[in-house]
Copies of this chain bind each other. A is one copy, B any other.
Amino acid sequence: MTKNIYKGKVVTLNLETVTLPNEATVQLEVVRHPGAAAIVPMKENGTVVLIRQYRHAVGGYIYEIPAGTLRPGEDPRACATRELEEEIGYRATALELLVSIYTAPGFADEVIHIFKGTGLTPGRQHLDRDEVLEVVEVPLEKAIAQIQDGTIRDSKTIVGLQAVYLSERTRAPNK
């Protein structure tokens, strides 16, 4: 049984009464979200294009990869392509799905599909009025160090950067 508490522009909040596999019946607060797509934009010289974005929910600017909420029925690949150009002003020649993640499965159903984008060519940045961000280009190695020192704290961004770094190191191991 689902009791809808709120249906907003981004999230829907439900109280859902469910019987778990252990036969316990519990009422759970569940945030329903349309899902999102994100993209790690990699230049040929090993630089990644990040954004430094103002996020009210966490009280300030944070480093992120470009990302956006899926429109109804939208293909994640199309969403990633759109957000890449709108947020940082690049187009990608090739998109590769790295992973699809659950951001907060304890209370939300959000899935983010994370792509790697390569073959970047200039496009046209176009920010929404609620988007406040600047573009920051950093070598991938430095971004990995910035995860370790706490500068980069966004989960989808960390997952995407680590995945690219691991795949590149696997492809070209130290000798």
Interface residues of A (CB under 8 A from B): 5-6, 8-11, 13, 15-16, 18, 20-22, 24, 26, 28-31, 33, 36, 54-59, 62, 64, 67, 69, 99-112, 129-130, 132, 144, 147-148, 150, 153-156, 158-159, 162-163, 165-167, 169, 173-175
Chain multiplicity (copies): 2
A13 touches B5 (CB 8 A): yes
A-B contact pairs, 5 of them (CB 8 A): A5-B5, A10-B106, A18-B56, A24-B129, A101-B153
Q: Specify which chain B residues have a CB less than 8 angstroms from the CB of A147 in the assembled complex.
A: 99, 163
Report Cα–Cα, A166/B169, bound state, in Å.
Answer: 10
State whether A58 and B109 are in contact (beta carbons under 8 Å apart), knowing that A5-B5, A130-B24, A174-B174 are contacts in the complex.
Answer: yes
B62 touches A102 (CB 8 A): yes
Q: Specify which chain B residues have a CB less than 8 angstroms from the CB of A6 in the assembled complex.
A: 5-6, 13, 29
Contact of A150 among B28, B29, B99 (CB under 8 A): B99
State whether A9 and B29 are in contact (beta carbons under 8 Å apart), knowing that A100-B150, A104-B110, A105-B154 are contacts in the complex.
Answer: yes
Overall SS of chain A's interface: mixed
Contact of A55 among B105, B111, B156 (CB under 8 A): B105
Q: Specify which chain B residues have a CB less than 8 angstroms from the CB of A99 in the assembled complex.
A: 147-148, 150, 153, 158
Contact of A165 among B10, B153, B166 (CB under 8 A): B166
Q: Specify which chain B residues have a CB less than 8 angstroms from the CB of A148 in the assembled complex.
A: 99, 163, 167
